[in-house]
């Protein structure tokens, strides 16, 4: 576990620099024709994903050779209580279809503590960052979640083929029944960053991976929001359901989505 603040300072500086650089590299790939493949149903991979991830890991390894890595494309690399969790391009389907809503998302865990997170959305000129106990920022502006009446709330509902379609359509129905509206923009990491920035009021998905969520979850918490215990039940390696929202919407959204309640209840509601 990191007890020395200087060790975390060094990682925070490196994180912000490499996330920015990775965003620029992703932007260069976005501007030219590249190879695109499907690795599963509606699950894309492009040649940019691997190259951006390799660049991030080589930069961080050069500075912190004893640290471990978990990347969306390369999987686990090394064993340490200092762990970097990397999504080189989140919103890959958007990226593959020339839709600019994508980002690079990187989180750093010190032992079991989610300590740092950064997200670059290069087509928007946005860099989001958060450090445990020290707030969350969009470029140089401190972020705060926006509380609102549930009837005026905008909640993003992420979708992937990892859960049955009927679980997703039922989730939409239950969230709409609260009076909130929903959207699906195709990047879980940016969806969470938007909650932190106060642009939307909540983000929910019935299964999502840790590389898509950890940086954004820290941002939501540091911006005054509430999140479920994503890392419980092996969320780091197996993924989990996620719910993040402004605190005043917690009760209504936990009740509507089932996320944040006991796991067995969730299983019952989504099956
Ligand atoms: C996906 C996106 C999407 C979310 C999926 C993720 P990827 O990640 O974050 O918004 O709904 O669960 O798998 O494949 O674009 O890195």
Say what the pTM is. Answer: 0.94
pLDDT the model gives residue 267: 41
Probe target for ligand 1 pocket from 40, 44, 91, 203, with the most ligand atoms within 8 Å of CB: 91
Q: Is 118 helix (H, G, I), strand (E, B) or coil?
A: strand
From the candidates 212, 222, 227, 257, which is the catalytic residue?
212
Q: Which atom of ligand 1 is nearest to the CA of 211?
A: 16
pLDDT the model gives residue 46: 79
Q: Is 46 a catalytic residue?
A: no
Q: Which helix (H) or strand (E) holds 189?
A: helix 188-196
Q: Is 212 a catalytic residue?
A: yes
Q: Which atom of ligand 1 is nearest to the CA of 185?
A: 10
| Spatial separation of the C-alpha atoms in residues 144 and 244, rounded to whole Å | 13
Edge-to-edge strand ranges of the sheet holding 202-208: 181-183, 154-157, 202-208, 240-245, 226-227
Q: What is the mean pLDDT of each run of 10 residues along the chain (271 residues)?
A: 84 98 96 78 81 97 98 92 97 94 98 97 98 97 98 97 96 98 98 98 98 98 98 94 98 97 48 32
Q: Is 119 a catalytic residue?
A: no
| Spatial separation of the C-alpha atoms in residues 192 and 217, rounded to whole Å | 7
pLDDT the model gives residue 141: 98
Q: Is 113 a catalytic residue?
A: no
Q: How far is the CA of 90 from the centre of ligand 1 (A)?
A: 6
Probe target for ligand 1 pocket from 22, 44, 212, with the most ligand atoms within 8 Å of CB: 212
- Answer for the pair 260, 206: CB distance below 8 angstroms, yes or no: no
Q: Is 141 helix (H, G, I), strand (E, B) or coil?
A: strand
The DSSP bridge pattern shows strands 68-71 and 82-90 to be parallel
Q: Is 77 a catalytic residue?
A: no
From the candidates 49, 53, 72, 222, which is the catalytic residue?
72
Residue-by-residue DSSP string for 198-238: TSSSEEEEEEE-HHHHHHHHHHHHHTT-EE--TTTTTHHHH
């Amino acid at each position: 576990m990191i007890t020395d603040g200087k060790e975390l300072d060094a990682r925070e500086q490196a994180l912000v620099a490499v996330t920015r650089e990775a965003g620029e590299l992703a932007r260069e790939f976005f501007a030219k024709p590249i190879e695109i493949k499907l690795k599963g149903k509606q699950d894309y991979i492009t040649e940019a994903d691997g190259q951006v991830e390799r660049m991030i890991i080589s930069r961080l390894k050069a500075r912190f050779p004893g640290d471990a890595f978990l990347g969306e494309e390369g999987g686990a690399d090394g064993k340490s209580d200092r762990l970097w969790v990397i999504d080189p391009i989140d919103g890959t389907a958007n990226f593959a279809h020339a839709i600019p809503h994508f980002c690079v998302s990187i989180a750093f865990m010190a032992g079991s503590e989610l300590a740092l997170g950064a997200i670059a959305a290069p087509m928007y000129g946005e860099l989001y960052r958060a450090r445990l106990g020290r707030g969350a920022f969009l470029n140089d502006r401190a972020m705060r979640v926006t509380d609102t009446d549930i009837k005026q709330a905008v909640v993003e509902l992420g979708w992937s083929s990892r859960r049955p379609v009927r679980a997703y359509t039922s989730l939409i129905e239950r969230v709409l029944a609260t009076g909130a509206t929903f959207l699906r923009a195709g990047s879980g990491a940016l969806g969470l960053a938007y909650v932190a920035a106060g642009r939307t009021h909540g983000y929910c998905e019935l299964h999502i991976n840790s590389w898509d969520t950890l940086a954004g979850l820290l941002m939501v918490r540091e911006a005054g929001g509430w999140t479920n215990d994503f890392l419980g039940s092996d969320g780091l390696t197996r993924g989990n359901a996620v719910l993040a929202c402004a605190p005043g919407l917690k009760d209504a959204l936990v009740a509507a989505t089932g996320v944040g309640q006991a796991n067995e209840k969730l299983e019952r509601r989504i099956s």
